[in-house]
Amino acid sequence: MGSTSAENNGSKGVGRRDLIKRSAALGLISVPTMSFLSACASGGGDDSGSGDATKGTTSKSNPFGVKKGSTLDVVVFKGGYGDDYAKAWEANFKTKIGVSSTHTGTQEITGKLQPRFNAGNPPDIVDDSGAQQIKIDVLYKNGQLLDLSPVLDAPAIDDPTKKVRDLLIPGTLDPGVQEGKVVALNYIYTVWGLWYSGKLFKDKGWTPPKTWDEFIAICQKAKAAGIGGLAHQGKYPYYINVAIMDLIAKKGGIDAVKAIDNLDPKAFVGSAAAQAGVEAIYEVVEKDLLMPGTNGLTHTESQTRWNQYKAAFITCGSWLENEQLKLTPTDFDMKFLPMPLLPDSKMPFEAIRAGSGEPFIIPAKAKNLPGAKEFMRHMLSKEWSTLFAKEANSLTILKDGVDSSVTLRPGTQSTVDASKAAGDNTFRYLYPDWYSEMDTSIQNASNELMAKRIQPKEWLKRCQAAVDKQAKDPASKKNVHS
């Protein structure tokens, strides 16, 4: 070993080549597995929870006993809505309550927070959203989420004679319920359905369809005019499920929704509504009315194509307008449309999938629990709700929560009108929040259906199999959509 120039001194000793070869072999073993396995390794748990350092005295205006001068650790998903609204809140919180915040705006919720949850050192309040959210059902099963009922039962900021929960749009707390407890506050009020360009429809002389036959007819006219009928964000089959599941819900009524959420053995196979819904969507595929190539496009790619008048309709939720803000032509006149009706539907045309999205959570082991609860109570005040509408162009779950001084964009305004027209005729699936794996299987089946690789019959079979598989998990008994 004394000589550095030794390459291969006979058969003994380790030459440079051998060394390289062996370390490469070692690399083959370690590299692919290491990066993933090491993610499994956790730091030791620190279960100390919140100490007394953050607990002040409680009073009527300070129901949780927030301590002045304490700090709050806020983590916000910085996606379609940005994170300026949260910064505005935090500044307001500091001047009003005297609690300063450390702000983290990120898309990598899982990457940043999974190790912190494991180490028992989570932030105080989190907007757990986006493609890399930590799934709420997963967090809940790990006992990481605070039951939010103390916040919801506290006196509201705008009207201290009422509870916070009484000032919210009915049903908007439901998606945050796990096993009967509200553990996530889905803050943004969202409607889902079809979208079209008011300008395109006016130019072509089309009227927005109310029945499925009219919808197909417009798609055919669009095709004749050289553009696509329906666009969807194929790389993420979540979106086409908006259309399929809406059709099923409107055809079969709320019972069809509950059958799926409650894992009925006849949720798909043996359900006339499910069959009618999926066959209707397949009609679009079979008659070749999709925007060409849409099955393989990402959400931005297909939404942008739609903004360029390359398709008549697209499926999406009401974040669409803010997401496409920079890519939408000024005279585009974005409009929302409830899913057109199949014959003999149990719900009226105006019925829409509506509800809340963007879950905010308070970790059970947050260091400053009083501060986090107070922060959430403020989120449900008209002042903060208006701040949100201003910064993020969207509505919150607070009833009448936007100050009249704020003018809404055309798309958002059309969702307000649609919500009014729908009245109590709103519905919402809860299975995606409860059963990530089942949701994934259904999305996968839809992807195959849109690519014409499976037929509606097979789609129903696959979805039912996913439901049946989920029903075998004993934990699923505790979730009931009633």
Partner 1 sequence: MRKGQYRFVAGFLFVPVALYLIFVIWPYIQTFGYSLTDWKGESQTFKFVGLDNYRALLHDDVFKEAIWHNLLFLVFIPVITILLALFFAFMVNAGGRSKAGGVQGVAGSGFYKIVYFFPQVLSLAILAVLFNAVYRSDGGGLLNGFLIKLHLVDVNNPVEWLNEPNMVLWALMAVVVWHGVGFYLVLFSAAMQSIPRDIYEAALIDGANRSQSFFRITLPLLWETVQTAWVYLGIIAMDMFVLVSSMTSNMGAYGGGPDHGSDVMSTVMMRNFLYFGKSGYACAMGVVMLLLTLVLSVVTLRATRRERIEF
Print the binding letters for residues 292-311 with partner 1: x by CB under 8 A, - otherwise.
xxxxxxx--x---x------
45 counts as binding partner 1 under rule CB under 8 A: yes
Select from 176, 234, 338, 340 the one that contacts partner 1 (CB under 8 A).
Answer: 234
Of 138, 132, 78, 86, whose CA–CA distance to 109 is shortest?
A: 132
Select from 9, 33, 149, 300 the one that contacts partner 1 (CB under 8 A).
Answer: 33
Long-range contacts of 271-275 (CB under 8 A, 24+ apart): 271/460, 273/248, 273/249, 273/346, 274/248, 274/460, 274/463, 275/456, 275/460
Beta carbons of 43 and 118 less than 8 angstroms apart = yes
Select from 6, 19, 32, 300 the one that contacts partner 1 (CB under 8 A).
Answer: 32
> Residue 154 phi/psi, 5° resolution?
-75, 160
Considering the complex, state which of residue 102 and residue 300 has its C-beta at the smaller distance from partner 1: 300
Size of the site for partner 1 (CB under 8 A): 67
14 counts as binding partner 1 under rule CB under 8 A: no
106: which DSSP letter? E
Print the binding letters for residues 193-232 with partner 1: x by CB under 8 A, - otherwise.
----------------------------------------
263: which DSSP letter? T
Look at strands 311-317 and 334-337 and give their pairing.
unpaired
27 counts as binding partner 1 under rule CB under 8 A: yes
Least distance (Å) between residue 216 CB and partner 1:
17
Beta carbons of 440 and 451 less than 8 angstroms apart = no
Encoding tokens for residue 356? 């809340």
Select from 79, 80, 120, 123 the one that contacts partner 1 (CB under 8 A).
Answer: 120
30 counts as binding partner 1 under rule CB under 8 A: yes
Considering the complex, state which of residue 48 and residue 142 has its C-beta at the smaller distance from partner 1: 142
Considering the complex, state which of residue 88 and residue 285 has its C-beta at the smaller distance from partner 1: 285
Select from 6, 14, 19, 42 the one that contacts partner 1 (CB under 8 A).
Answer: 42
236 counts as binding partner 1 under rule CB under 8 A: yes
Integer Cα distance of 356 and 395 in angstroms: 10
Which range in 68-76, 86-94, 116-124, 407-415 contacts partner 1 by CB under 8 A?
116-124
Beta carbons of 73 and 367 less than 8 angstroms apart = yes
Beta carbons of 148 and 111 less than 8 angstroms apart = no
67: which DSSP letter? P
Select from 114, 271, 307, 315 the one that contacts partner 1 (CB under 8 A).
Answer: 114
Look at strands 395-396 and 71-77 and give their pairing.
unpaired
Beta carbons of 134 and 114 less than 8 angstroms apart = yes
CA 273 to each of CA 41, 341, 346, 469: distance values in angstroms, whole numbers, following the listed order:
47, 12, 10, 21
Least distance (Å) between residue 181 CB and partner 1:
17
Least distance (Å) between residue 43 CB and partner 1:
9
Beta carbons of 456 and 282 less than 8 angstroms apart = yes
Beta-carbon neighbour count of residue 8 at 10 Å?
A: 12
Select from 3, 4, 5, 38 the one that contacts partner 1 (CB under 8 A).
Answer: 38
Least distance (Å) between residue 433 CB and partner 1:
13
37 counts as binding partner 1 under rule CB under 8 A: yes
Print the binding letters for residues 255-294 with partner 1: x by CB under 8 A, - otherwise.
---------------------------------x--xxxx
Instruction: Identify the bridge partners of residue 101 per DSSP, sorted by sequence position.
Output: 72
Which range in 127-135, 153-161, 375-383, 390-398 contacts partner 1 by CB under 8 A?
127-135
40 counts as binding partner 1 under rule CB under 8 A: yes
Which range in 31-39, 70-78, 179-187, 260-268 contacts partner 1 by CB under 8 A?
31-39
Say what the alpha-carbon torsion angle 146, 71, 133, 112 is, to the nearest 10 degrees.
-120
Print the binding letters for residues 423-462 with partner 1: x by CB under 8 A, - otherwise.
-------------xx-xx--xx--xx--x-x---------
> Residue 77 phi/psi, 5° resolution?
-70, 125
Which range in 52-60, 69-77, 133-141, 157-165 contacts partner 1 by CB under 8 A?
133-141
Angle 179-183-186 from CA coordinates, rounded to 5°: 115
Print the binding letters for residues 92-111 with partner 1: x by CB under 8 A, - otherwise.
------------------x-
* DSSP letter string, 267-320: SSTT-HHHHHHHHHHHHHHHTT-BPTTGGG--HHHHHHHHHTTSEEEEEEETTH
Select from 135, 258, 353, 373 the one that contacts partner 1 (CB under 8 A).
Answer: 135
Residues that bind partner 1 (CB under 8 A): 1-2, 8, 17, 20-21, 24-25, 27-42, 45, 110, 114, 117-118, 120, 131-132, 134-135, 137-139, 141-144, 234-238, 288, 291-298, 301, 305, 436-437, 439-440, 443-444, 447-448, 451, 453
